[in-house]
């Protein structure tokens, strides 16, 4: 599972002076320009790939073909996100490129913003809120542009843009609704939630100890006779043209594999793409987890299921990366002590893992972000997702430090701390220790949190249903929060100050109680799983800590501030909640899980919300950030033999999007 950047982490201005542990050994260019574009609620950044030049030619070529394979899946995600997205993108880009009117025209500017939003969402819905974008240009103006270019006025596409009630939400999680019928994604067609659940329940064998990831690579619809059927993503199946191109490039990459183990991983992925058989996917996942000798690594496939209201179908995603060897010492230390952390956790021993299997952890440098990781991207990855593979083979956990670095650099001096942090002393604490404790939080969340605990025998891993993602993220966050304050981290040399953890505790509470609300529109509730998780944890601790005044919201000059009075007690409360959420997960206690989420994770205090939005608006910070990729160019000699791969960073946001749409068009 992936942890996207938290609002607070990216918004807090950090001037890190005290670095403990390891950071990338590579020097970054001092005058690198991180900001690329700014529109709506989005800031687009670029990231550096330090160390790429020092890789061997073989590694560079391997990365080159893997990045090509990554971007070649772009159209799959667009189509998964909505069945009209590709056609709509063609239409929008044609108008965008042919426009020759004044750039200061209001209609054009609204259109420019809309197209940039659609690119960012990989479709017509916001990548995070899942709501459809609202055009601020008129239908008349747009139809005028279509006429000018002799383009057809496709009624359906026009409705997608201009009718706010049509396909309003990509993923609907509202309790009680038919989540499939009311979600606008293209993972299901003409079927109800009940039909889909009946279809999979009839196939699931609850006694199977190594179940496949049902529905991961399929669109569910009905055949001519009205039977529910899967359309499988594979060569010769749904998305065949895109997948065939990916396979071709993976085979090319395989020629430059670093070793036989890595070659085998690529081969197994190609097998999976060819057969579409989810047993082949499990074989691939196991080979991928076991392969830890290579410096270059990648994910490419149908991975995370946040885009599916039932949490089954994986969105296409790819990240190509290589290990940051000096920085990885930090995560290796955590990983090597996984057993100690598991056995000392504040969780009922019945729900602990007897033996924590090799959680490999490393710090990586991303070389390309693609599919569901582009432009908005995670800062950490922990895969595979299948519970039984994690239990039997462990998982790979990574922190993407060139991305966290870019966030950090881009947030310097944005005024956030001055506005929201209660006093100088706390600001100083954040300046000194937030970068390292935030990175450690991610490491602990990914390396240990998701990997800890076990289900009691016979418990359905999907028992928590729509609340499963929120509770899983809460479990991982609480594991990290609890241990950040443990003296063990000082003993291991990961922190040098017993108070350092307070920086992350403060930021976490500030974010969960207040500042993450800047991402929510007025009047709306919290819906996204990671945000619900943070709100759940913070509101629960706030309430349970009231008798001892552990944390309070104090008012100064009409503004609210988070004030933490008892950090030690706060840690105990994190531990208590971790114990309870692990019990809920281990026992599959749906009712208790739902009650926690509904009581603490969803409802927004309207007055506080308004205050946060007002204060935040004055800072003019984009609540969401994403990235353009660097450009890799294959250099050949006179005989056409590859001699180098060069990397450049100059490409701007529209140029990259338009180029990708042309160069990597794999679906119609």
Site for Zn ion in 63-102 (CB under 5 A): none
Q: Between 581 and 667, whose beta carbon lies closer to Zn ion?
A: 581
| Contact flag: residue 3 with Zn ion (CB under 5 A) | yes
Number of residues that bind Zn ion (CB under 5 A): 4
Rounded to a whole number of angstroms, the minimum distance from the CB of residue 597 to Zn ion is 16
Q: Which is nearer to Zn ion, 37 or 304 (CB)?
A: 304
Smallest gap from residue 378 Cβ to Zn ion (A): 9
Q: Is 1 in the site for Zn ion (CB under 5 A)?
A: yes
d(CA 655, CA 661) in angstroms, rounded, equals: 10
Work out the angle at residue 144's Cα, subtended by the Cα atoms of residues 140 and 148, and round it to the nearest 5 degrees.
Answer: 175
CB of 465 to Zn ion, least distance (A): 18
CB 313 within 8 A of CB 301: no
Please give the Cα distance from 116 to 114 (Å, whole number). Answer: 5
User: Which residue, 48 or 397, is less far from Zn ion as judged by CB?
Assistant: 397
Q: How far is the CB of 17 from Zn ion (least distance, A)?
A: 29
Rounded-to-integer distance, Cα 242 and Cα 577, Å: 45
- Of the candidate spans 290-298, 416-424, 469-477, 584-592, the one that interacts with Zn ion by CB under 5 A turns out to be 469-477
Q: 547-573 in b/e burial notation, b at 16+ Cβ within 10 A? A: eeebbeeeeeeeebbbbbeeeebbbbb
Tokens 């607070």: give the residue.
8
Of 116 and 475, nearer to Zn ion (C-beta) is 475
Question: Rule CB under 5 A: is residue 550 a binding residue for Zn ion?
Answer: no
179 lies in the binding site for Zn ion (CB under 5 A): no
Q: How far is the CB of 544 from Zn ion (least distance, A)?
A: 23
Residue with Cβ nearer Zn ion (247 or 379): 379
Tokens of 246: 């990916």
Q: How far is the CB of 200 from Zn ion (least distance, A)?
A: 24
Check if the beta carbon of residue 337 is closer than 8 Å to that of residue 283. no
* Cα-to-chain-centroid distance, residue 467: 17
Closest to Zn ion by CB, 469 vs 666, is: 469
Stretch that binds Zn ion, among 3-11, 40-48, 240-248, 618-626 (CB under 5 A): 3-11
Residue from 474, 476, 551, 667 touching Zn ion (CB under 5 A): that is 476
Q: How far is the CB of 1 from Zn ion (least distance, A)?
A: 4
- Cβ atoms of 585 and 453 closer than 8 Å: yes
Residue 404-443 contact track with Zn ion, rule CB under 5 A, x = bound: ----------------------------------------
Quick check: 581 binds Zn ion (CB under 5 A)? no
Q: What is the rounded CA–CA span in Å between residue 32 and residue 407?
A: 13
Paired sense of beta strands 551-556 and 378-383, if any: unpaired
Tell me whether residue 324 or residue 473 sits nearer to Zn ion (CB atom).
473
DSSP calls for 360-417 = EEEEEEEEEEEETTSSS-EEEEEE---HHHHHHH--EEEEEHHHHHHHHHHTTT-SHH
* Under rule CB under 5 A, residue 481 binds Zn ion: no
Report the nearest approach of Zn ion to the CB of residue 338 (Å). Answer: 16
Burial (CB count within 10 angstroms: exposed 0-12, middle 13-18, buried 19+), residue 634: middle
Positions touching Zn ion (CB under 5 A) are: 1, 3, 473, 476
């Amino acid at each position: 599972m992936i942890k996207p950047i938290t609002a607070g982490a990216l918004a807090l201005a950090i001037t890190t002076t005290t670095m403990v542990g390891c950071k990338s050994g590579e020097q970054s260019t001092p005058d690198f320009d991180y900001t690329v574009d700014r529109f709506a609620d989005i800031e687009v950044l670029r990231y550096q790939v330090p160390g790429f030049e020092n890789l061997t030619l073989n590694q560079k070529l391997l990365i080159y073909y893997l990045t090509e394979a990554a971007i070649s899946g772009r159209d799959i995600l667009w189509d998964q996100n909505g069945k009209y997205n590709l056609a709509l993108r063609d239409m929008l880009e044609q108008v965008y490129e042919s426009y020759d009117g004044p750039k200061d025209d209001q209609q054009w500017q609204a259109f420019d913003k809309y197209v940039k939003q659609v690119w960012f969402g990989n479709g017509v819905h916001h990548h995070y809120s899942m709501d459809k974008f609202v055009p601020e240009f008129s239908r008349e103006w747009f139809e005028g542009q279509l006429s000018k270019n002799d383009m057809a006025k496709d009624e359906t596409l026009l409705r997608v843009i201009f009718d706010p009630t049509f396909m309003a939400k990509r993923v609907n999680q509202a309790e009680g609704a038919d989540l499939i019928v009311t979600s606008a994604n293209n993972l299901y067609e003409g079927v109800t939630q009940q039909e889909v659940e009946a279809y999979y329940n009839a196939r699931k064998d609850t006694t199977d100890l190594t179940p496949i990831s049902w529905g991961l690579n399929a669109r569910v619809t009905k055949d001519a006779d009205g039977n529910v059927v899967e359309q499988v993503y594979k060569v010769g199946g749904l998305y065949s043209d895109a997948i065939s191109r990916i396979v071709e490039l993976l085979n090319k990459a395989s020629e430059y594999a670093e070793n036989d183990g890595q070659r085998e991983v690529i081969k197994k992925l190609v097998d999976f793409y060819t057969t579409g058989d989810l047993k082949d996917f499990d074989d691939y996942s196991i080979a991928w987890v076991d392969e830890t000798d290579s410096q270059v690594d990648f994910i490419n496939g149908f991975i995370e299921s946040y885009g599916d209201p039932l949490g089954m179908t994986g969105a296409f995603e790819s990240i190509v990366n290589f290990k940051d060897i000096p920085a990885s010492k930090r995560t290796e230390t955590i990983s090597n002590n996984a057993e100690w952390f598991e056995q000392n956790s504040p969780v009922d021993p019945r729900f602990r893992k007897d033996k924590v299997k090799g959680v490999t952890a490393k710090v990586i440098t991303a070389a390309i972000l693609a599919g569901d990781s582009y432009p908005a991207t995670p800062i950490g990855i922990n895969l595979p997702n299948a519970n039984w593979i994690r239990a039997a083979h462990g998982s790979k956990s990574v922190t993407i430090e060139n991305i966290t670095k870019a966030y950090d650099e881009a947030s310097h001096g944005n005024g956030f701390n001055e506005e929201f942090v209660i006093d100088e002393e706390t600001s100083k604490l954040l300046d000194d220790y937030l970068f390292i404790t935030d990175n450690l939080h991610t490491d602990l969340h990914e390396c240990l949190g998701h990997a800890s605990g076990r289900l009691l025998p016979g418990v359905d891993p999907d028992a928590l249903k729509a609340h499963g993602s929120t509770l899983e993220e809460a479990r991982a966050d609480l594991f990290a929060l609890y241990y950040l304050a443990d003296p063990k981290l000082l003993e291991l040399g990961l922190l040098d100050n017993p108070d350092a953890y307070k920086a992350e505790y403060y930021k976490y509470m500030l974010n969960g109680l207040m500042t993450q609300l800047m991402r929510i529109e007025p009047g709306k509730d919290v819906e996204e799983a990671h945000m619900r998780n943070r709100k759940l944890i913070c509101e629960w601790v706030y309430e349970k800590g009231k008798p001892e005044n552990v944390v309070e919201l104090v008012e100064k000059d009409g503004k609210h501030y988070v004030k933490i009075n008892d950090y030690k007690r706060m840690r105990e409360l994190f531990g208590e909640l971790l114990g309870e959420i692990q019990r809920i997960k281990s026992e599959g206690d749906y009712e208790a899980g739902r009650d926690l989420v509904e009581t603490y994770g969803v409802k927004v205090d309207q007055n506080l919300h308004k205050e946060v939005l007002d204060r935040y608006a004055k800072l003019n910070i984009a609540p969401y950030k994403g990235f353009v990729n660097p450009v890799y160019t294959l250099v050949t000699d006179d005989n056409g033999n590859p001699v180098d791969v060069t990397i450049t960073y100059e490409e701007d946001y529209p140029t990259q999007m338009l180029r990708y749409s042309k160069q990597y068009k794999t679906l119609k």
